[in-house]
Amino acid sequence: MEENAVPRHIAFIPDGNRRWAAKNNKNLKDAYETGIKKSGDIVKWISNIKGVEIISFWSFSTENFKRSEDEKSILFSLFGDFLAKGLEEYVKNSDNRKNQVKINFFGKLERFPESVQEKIRNIMEMTRNNSPYTVNFFMGYGGRQEIVDAVNRMMGEGVKEINENDFSRYLYTKDLPDPDVIVRTSGEKRLSGLMPWQSVYSELCFLDKLWPELEEKDIVEIVNDYSRRKRRFGK
């Protein structure tokens, strides 16, 4: 595979945790815990693929705030545990890391419990100068909300006219390249609002597998499939 045929930025819509729970007679906590661990597995698998530098996960949408209080409580607790473990691993391995990872969070983070927000701030601060890998978690994220927020920031600065490149600077992801490929699991064939501005030329990959069922061979095939596609960008 040619190095320039490898996607630099892969984004995931991790769908199917609740269906996996029903299919395997598991409770929601087990399902979401398995799904969160799967994200960690994917980061490790992708680190073995030369050329992929940025991984994004849509962890929680703005619409997900409408779910039951019990389900949100489970998720917020797991987010806190996941972030605490990430901080612990970072500190433990801070003097002996081959692959340093910069971790970003995008979305309406202020809507999460303060304990989760604090861990988010800490892990972003501790990893902000890391390279060569970047892992992004979209939490409390909605694509339309991102665009509305961008327009409001422009209006607040008194901007009267703008071009596409300038507009991108007002998005949450202003420092990131657009995703080369977006992957959604569970058989659903839509983006549901993930990065609507940034995804206009993203390649799309829809898998029938539920998110917790994803395997390393699936990640390899996603990259191989991308390498076989021709990206013309309208030319």
List of domains in the chain: 3-228 (3.40.1180.10)
Above pLDDT 70, what percent of the chain?
Answer: 92
Q: What is the pLDDT of residue 1?
A: 43
- Helix (H) or strand (E) run with residue 10 in it: strand 9-13
Residues involved in catalysis:
15, 64
pTM, whole model, 2 decimals? 0.93
Given a cut of 80, is residue 93 above it in pLDDT? no
The span from the CA of 170 to the CA of 16, in Å, is: 32
Confidence of residue 18 (pLDDT cuts 50, 70, 90): very high
**Hey, what long-range contacts does 187-195 have (CB within 8 A, 24 or more apart)?**
187/16, 188/15, 191/13, 191/143, 192/13, 192/61, 193/61, 193/142, 193/143, 193/144, 194/11, 194/13, 194/58, 194/138, 194/141, 194/143, 195/11, 195/143, 195/146
Confidence of residue 145 (pLDDT cuts 50, 70, 90): very high
Closest CA to 54 of 106, 9, 102: 9
Q: What is the pLDDT of residue 126?
A: 87
Given a cut of 60, is residue 44 above it in pLDDT? yes
